Amino acid sequence: MEFVFLGTSAGEQFPGFWCKCEMCEKARRLGGRNIRRNSCAWLAPDCAIDFSPGVFHQADRFGVPLIDIRYLLVTHSHEDHLGMFPLYWRRMRVDQELPAPITSVGPRFSPVETLHVVGNSTVCAKVEREVGGTSEERAMEVHQVAPYEPFELGPMVVTPLVANHPDHDERGYNYIIERDGRTILYALDTGWFLPETLAEIERHEFDLMVIEGTFGLGADEACHMNLAKVERAFGLFRDKGVLKAGAPLCVSHMCPHATPVHDEIAPVMAEKGITIAYDGMRVDA
């Protein structure tokens, strides 16, 4: 089961859009794996996790057939995790003649498989409001799911977990994904795990764990992790047997200002058994 990191930065990207700090300038100068775009991922052959504004660019860059997407798991409604522009252009008139005459107007002139979008109530309301149209016109169904209640999604069983990342009334989700006999944790945009979330995680054995490391060597902040918390989680999950022997724990969603560039931080964390993900990294879970 192939897992692809299409993006591994926090909201401001790495280097930051408007920042010329030492770390941002070093990333620009070095290029390669030191350049990170907004976090999103691909679980082959048909599932995306989050939908950043640049997701199609990243998919083209790394050879991911995003046009084949059938399932989209959205962690929360923040723009860096749910960019609506690509989804808006999915619509096609129900009565559209195919093949389309050259005089036709619209964003799509070919059939696509139904896209199942999964998220919390804020995510679902945002998609319904900003994509518009009927389910048939957009070839899209939106599914609001409840935390800690596993559900079947095509060939997968998915369990949403409440992330420690509150934003007014919204509570983001982390996800446990079970597919083809493998189990994955995707836990971005969360501080240290809530007790009920940690309890659910500890009920499983994982072939791949993806955890955020937003603040790198810096701030110990309530709604995001830094690498010290990642190390704490790694030790906990390894000692409890939650992370299978030899299975990777990968760090994503990293901001530049307290995080060394990939070329510097990845070897340091690798010595501790932790993998720093980079854009385009592929994992066989």
Q: Is 98 a member of any domain?
A: no
pLDDT in tens, 203-222: 999 999 999 999 999 989 88
State the average pLDDT over residues 22-30: 96
In the predicted structure, residue 239 carries a pLDDT above the cut 90: yes
Q: Is 100 a member of any domain?
A: no
Q: Is 148 a member of any domain?
A: yes
- Report how many domains make up the chain: 1
Q: Is 79 a member of any domain?
A: yes
Q: Quick one: DSSP state of residue 114?
A: P
pLDDT in tens, 266-280: 999 999 999 999 999
Structure tokens at 122: 């804020």
- Looking at residue 251, its pLDDT comes to 98
How would residue 31 be classed by pLDDT, with cut points 50, 70 and 90? very high
**Number of neighbours of residue 126 by Cβ within 10 angstroms:** 21
For residue 149, what are the domain limits? 2-91+105-284
State the average pLDDT over residues 80-85: 94
Q: Is 147 a member of any domain?
A: yes
Name the β-bridge partners of 143: 118
Q: Is 97 a member of any domain?
A: no
- Looking at residue 70, its pLDDT comes to 98
* Reported pTM: 0.96
How would residue 199 be classed by pLDDT, with cut points 50, 70 and 90? very high
Cα torsion angle, 115, 119, 121, 125, sign: negative
State the average pLDDT over residues 189-198: 96
pLDDT in tens, 44-75: 999 999 999 999 999 999 999 999 999 999 99
Residues whose CB is less than 8 angstroms from the CB of residue 124 and which lie 6 or more positions away in sequence, other chains included: 117, 142, 143, 144
CATH number, domain with residue 114 = 3.60.15.10
Q: Is 35 a member of any domain?
A: yes
In the predicted structure, residue 281 carries a pLDDT above the cut 90: yes
Q: How many residues does the chain have?
A: 285
pLDDT in tens, 123-173: 999 999 999 889 999 999 999 999 999 999 999 999 999 999 988 889 999
**What ranges make up the beta strands (E) of 98-252?**
115-119, 140-144, 151-153, 156-167, 170-179, 182-187, 208-212, 249-252
Q: Is 191 a member of any domain?
A: yes
State the average pLDDT over residues 170-186: 97
